[in-house]
Each structure stands twice: as C-alpha cells, then as structure tokens.
Chain A
Amino acid sequence: MGHFFSYIVEPGFFSSQPVRTAFIVGTVVAITSGVVGVLTVIRGQSFAGHSLADVATTGGAGAFLIGVSQFWGFLIAGVAAAAIMEAIGVQRRRGRDVATGVVLGAALGLAALFLYLGTQTTSTTGASFTILFGSMFVISPDTVPALIASGVIALAVIAVLSRVLLLTSLSPEIAAARGVSVRAVGAAYLATLAVAVTLSAVAIGAVLSTALLIGPAATALRLTRSPGRAMAVAAAIGTATTWIGILLAYDSFDWPPKQHGWPVSFFVVALVLIAYLLSYVRRTRRRPASSAELTDTTQEGTPACSPV
C-alpha cells in the first residue's frame, strides 16, 4: 500500500516549494472562479469571462514590456476592459456579445504589438506562450499575497451583492420595479468578474482561467438548482480538479516524453470536461428536484436557473 501511494504521489511532492505555491494559488483561484462562475453562467456571460482573461494577457504583455509586475498589468487591463465593455455594450444580449468581441479584438491587437515590441527589446521568444498558457509551477511566491487579497475582494463583493445580483440576473424587470439599478449592478458584477478572471489568468493562464470559470459552475448548476449550493459545489469541483491536475502534472515528469512534464492546463481542462460530462450521466438517471429555493426572489415561481 505504501508502495502504491508513493507511485501516485511522487516522492518530494509535498516538500517542493513550487508545488506548495501552486496548491495555494490553485485553491484560491478555483474557489473564486467557482463562485463567480455560477453567476457568469446564470447571466450568460461566458464570452465576457473568456474575453476578460484574454484581454488581461494584453496587460500582462504590456507589463512584460515595461518591466513591472505582471499582476498589476493583468489587473489594470482586465478592469479597464470591463469598464469599456460596459460603456459601449448595449443591454440586449446579442449587442453585448458584439461589444465584447470588438473590445477583445482591439485588445488582442494591442497584445500583438506589445509582444512584438517585447521580442524586439529582449530576446525572450517564449513570452507569448507563457502569458497565454501560464504555468502554475513558475508563480513567484511574492505575488501570492496580492493574489489571495484580490480573491477575497471578489468573494466579498459577490457575498454583499449576491441577492441583488441574482434578482437582476433572473428577472431584471422585477429588479428595476423594486428600484434596483440593473445597470449599476451589472457594472459592479463585471468589475468583480474582471478581478476574478485576472487573478486566475495571471496564476494559471488565460486558457485555464475560462475552464475553471465556466466548467465547474456549469456542472454544479446541472447538479443543484439553488445558486448558493451551486457556488459551493462549483468551488469544490474546481478545487478538486485543480488539485488532481497539479498532482498529475507533477507525476507526468516520468511519462513520455521523458524529463518533460505535461502542462497543468491540459489536466485541469480534461478533468473539468469529464466532470461536466458526468453531470449529464447523472441527470439522465434521476430527474432533479423541483426548484423551491428561489421562488421568494423571483416571485413568479419561474425556474431558478434554466438548465445548463
């Protein structure tokens, strides 16, 4: 048994500093992404969530160019992009997606410029790959406190606004009738999304960021209809997939091709997808309980979250 255990968990796994940092950051990111992701899926803003991660990489490339900490570049670009999307976005969903797309296109253009200028001044050609795909094992321990702080801020905003946010997401008309400013709540949410996505993009790359934001939340919303419970389930699924992903990536140093680990992003994405597909298996076996949790907020008895 001990032999078997050491086969799964390679010797030196828990004493490695990069692994410990990866675990801490991965957990913070998974929990924040899970909670924010549930609202993102309910509001149908997956594209905005993905775009903000991509846009944040523009800030990362810019920060790389002028030589400041990437975290601040990611954060400033993410929040600025959220503000621009909100400013030019119209209320209808299709118009909103187009506005998101235009901001994303312009920001990626800027990223191309920054990366080009970056490769002109320094000769680091792998920068574009690192910025886009990230690597959990190269997070500098110095940025960990800032990462945790921004995660806590995002969670606090969601906790304060959660009822209003759900109300404006599910029935904007009722929210407006009650005197809630739907637009202001939407802007606050988008800013929170920007912080959460930035946090994960800088830690684990833009690719993984979308996976952790959407995958666990969509899975959780298939398993439970109460948004609060879905947030908890999403955070748990996210954390579990991240942990197993890190473990497998660490183990993969012994897999072919030799002495070259497989990327964490691949494992986490694969596990998130497996969890999502498993939720389909469960759904076909057992019909979900009817929604009672949200009827007090929606008043109409409309389904709390339409099936995802």
Chain B
Amino acid sequence: MFTGLMLNTWIAASIVAVIAGVTGFFAVVRGQTFAAHAIPNGAFAGAAGAGLLGLNVIWGLAVFAVAGALSIGTFGRKARQDVVTALSLVLMLGIGALFVSFSTEYANVTYSLLFGEVFGVSQNVLLPIAGLGIVAIVLIAVLYRPLLLASAMPEVADAGGVSTRWMELCYLLVMALAASMTVPVVGALLMFVLMIGPSAAARSFAKRPGRAIALAVAIALVTVWIGIIASYHTNWPLGFFVGVISAGFFLVGSGWTAVRRRWFGRRPASVLAAAL
C-alpha cells in the first residue's frame, strides 16, 4: 500500500489536501463557493484544448483558470458575481465541449479530468505540484491579514485602506494557480470538494481563523487518507469517498453548531464569525 505508485498517490493527494484546506477556507469565508467550483471545472476545457494542440495539459489549464479568475474578478464587480461566474463557467465548458468534439479519443480523458486519476500519478509531476503548492501557500501567507480583513469585513477593509478589489483578484488568481496544478492530478471534482467541505466543517469547530485553517487542512488530510484506503480496497473511485466523507464532516459540523446553540445558547463568539 505504501510502495511505488501508491506512495506517489499518498504524497500528491496530501499536497493537494493541504493546498485545498488553506485556499478553501477563504472561499468559504468570502462566500465564493461558486467560484471554487467554476475555476477548476472550467479549467478542464483548457486541458482539452491543450490536448488538441499537443501542448502540455498544465498550460491549457493555467490559461483557462487564470482567464476564468480574471473574468470573475473584473466583471463580477460590475454585475452580480454569481451571474458572471455562471456565464464564465458555461463559456469555458462550451469551448471545452467544442474541443472535446474535435478529437473523439479525448472523450475518455473527460472522465479523468473531472473525477481524477489519482492512482496513476508519476514521480515527475510531484515536484511541480509541490513547488506550485508552496507558491500558492506563500502567497496566501503574505496576503493573510489584508485578505482576511477584506473577506470578513469588506467595509472595514475599505475604510482601512485595503483594496477589497485587489484582494479579490489576488485571491482568485491564487485559486486559479492551485486549480491548474491540482486538476490534472486529482480532477476538478476532488479539488472543489476538498476546498469546501473541510473548511465549512472547520468553521463550526474553531472560531479563530488561524485555528480554523489548521483544522480545515487536518480534516482535508484525514478525508483523502480515508478515501485512498477505502478506494484502494474497494477499487471504487476516490472522488466518491472524498465527496461523501467531506459531506459527512460538514454535517457533523452543522450538527455541532446546532447542538451548541440549543444547549449552551451561545452564538459564535469571535468578531470574524459575527461578521459572517
């Protein structure tokens, strides 16, 4: 279970879980769940395009992920963000459908890009994933304070001279970076699930943002690890286990919040939680 290709799987999935936990926390706090779904999913179209042109898949993914992030970030200011996100997503997917229809053999790759092919990770992709992952986490760390302020209390951030607009664009670009390197490894679905489920669950247990991020990373790691073990034994797709387990964590978190509210009559205490 811990030899050869399986070891690569463990390493790659763990790296992805850490990145997803860190970036996903902000997606949940900012209410940008839809963007977290649209950017990895739309990026898949870029992979199809790169395959058509004979380029490395990661370039296509990066171009589409960044284009999606930019369009959500810039047009989302002028119009409703959910509408712009939906239209950006369908545009990318529509182009993806065109690309896929051009090369008939590519239809099979659709499945692996959406749902992941995590048990076939080769050694030479581990280094790029780890490198880009470190870049994404360093960017989040550098932006941490202003990003948190802009996410939780946009009015205060604007008053305090933090540009919420730039923070949003920077954050979406980090998400695009994270998506373009994780999608070829774990698929668009897994990336999305690992960004949302663990972070949403973590917010029910930890009120301080730092602790919540740590907890989100921990839950994401536990989710993929259990998923890999279960998937290894049953041969069922990893995406299934990760999706169900992270939904389970979310439900436990919501249940805990409800129980605490009823029995202790306590509202979430911190300023951050109150602002949400």
Whether the Cβ atoms of A207 and B247 lie closer than 8 Å is no
A225 within 8 A of B: no
A11 within 8 A of B: no
What is the CA–CA distance of A18 and B126 in the complex, to the nearest angstrom?
48
Whether the Cβ atoms of A109 and B189 lie closer than 8 Å is yes
B241 within 8 A of A: yes
B166 within 8 A of A: no
Majority SS at the chain A contact face = helix
Whether the Cβ atoms of A47 and B37 lie closer than 8 Å is yes
Whether the Cβ atoms of A263 and B107 lie closer than 8 Å is no
Q: Nearest 7 CB-CB pairs, A to B?
A: A109-B243, A269-B94, A94-B31, A105-B193, A112-B239, A106-B247, A113-B240
Give the residues in chain A near B86, CB-CB below 8 Å. Answer: 46-47, 49-50, 210, 213-214
| Residues of B218-255 contacting chain A, CB below 8 A | 236-237, 239-244, 246-247, 250-251, 254
**Distance (whole angstroms) from the CB of B42 to the closest CB of chain A:** 10
Contact of A46 among B85, B108, B189 (CB under 8 A): B85
**Distance (whole angstroms) from the CB of B257 to the closest CB of chain A:** 10
B50 within 8 A of A: no
Whether the Cβ atoms of B91 and A269 lie closer than 8 Å is yes
Majority SS at the chain B contact face = helix
Whether the Cβ atoms of B244 and A263 lie closer than 8 Å is no
Whether the Cβ atoms of B83 and A93 lie closer than 8 Å is no
B256 within 8 A of A: no
| Residues of B100-159 contacting chain A, CB below 8 A | 100-102, 107-108, 110-111, 114-115
What is the CA–CA distance of A104 and B197 in the complex, to the nearest angstrom?
10
What is the CA–CA distance of A306 and B244 in the complex, to the nearest angstrom?
37
**Distance (whole angstroms) from the CB of A205 to the closest CB of chain B:** 8
B55 within 8 A of A: no
Give the residues in chain A near B200, CB-CB below 8 Å. Answer: 98, 101-102
Give the residues in chain B near A112, CB-CB below 8 Å. Answer: 114-115, 189, 237, 239-240, 243
| Residues of B38-93 contacting chain A, CB below 8 A | 79-80, 82-83, 85-87, 89-91, 93
Whether the Cβ atoms of A266 and B192 lie closer than 8 Å is no
Stretch of A70-78, A121-129, A156-164, A295-303 contacting B (4+ beta carbons < 8 Å): A121-129
Whether the Cβ atoms of B108 and A125 lie closer than 8 Å is yes
What is the CA–CA distance of A103 and B193 in the complex, to the nearest angstrom?
10
Whether the Cβ atoms of A109 and B101 lie closer than 8 Å is no
Whether the Cβ atoms of A207 and B240 lie closer than 8 Å is no
| Residues of A90-143 contacting chain B, CB below 8 A | 92-94, 97-98, 100-113, 115-117, 125-126, 128-129, 132-133
Whether the Cβ atoms of A113 and B246 lie closer than 8 Å is no
Give the residues in chain B near A129, CB-CB below 8 Å. Answer: 100, 107, 110-111
Query: What's the tally of chain B residues with a CB closer than 8 Å to chain A?
Result: 50
Given A113-B236, A260-B101; A100-B90 close (CB under 8 Å): no
Given A262-B101, A266-B94; A109-B80 close (CB under 8 Å): no
B176 within 8 A of A: no
Whether the Cβ atoms of A105 and B87 lie closer than 8 Å is no
Whether the Cβ atoms of B237 and A105 lie closer than 8 Å is no
Give the residues in chain B near A198, CB-CB below 8 Å. Answer: none
Whether the Cβ atoms of A106 and B108 lie closer than 8 Å is no
Given A46-B86, A98-B33; A105-B197 close (CB under 8 Å): yes
B17 within 8 A of A: no
What is the CA–CA distance of A265 and B45 in the complex, to the nearest angstrom?
13
In the complex, 20 of the A-B residue pairs with CB atoms within 8 angstroms, ordered by the A residue number, are A93-B31, A94-B28, A98-B31, A98-B196, A101-B33, A101-B34, A112-B239, A113-B239, A125-B107, A125-B108, A125-B111, A128-B110, A128-B114, A129-B110, A210-B89, A211-B94, A214-B90, A215-B87, A269-B93, A273-B87
What is the CA–CA distance of A265 and B193 in the complex, to the nearest angstrom?
26
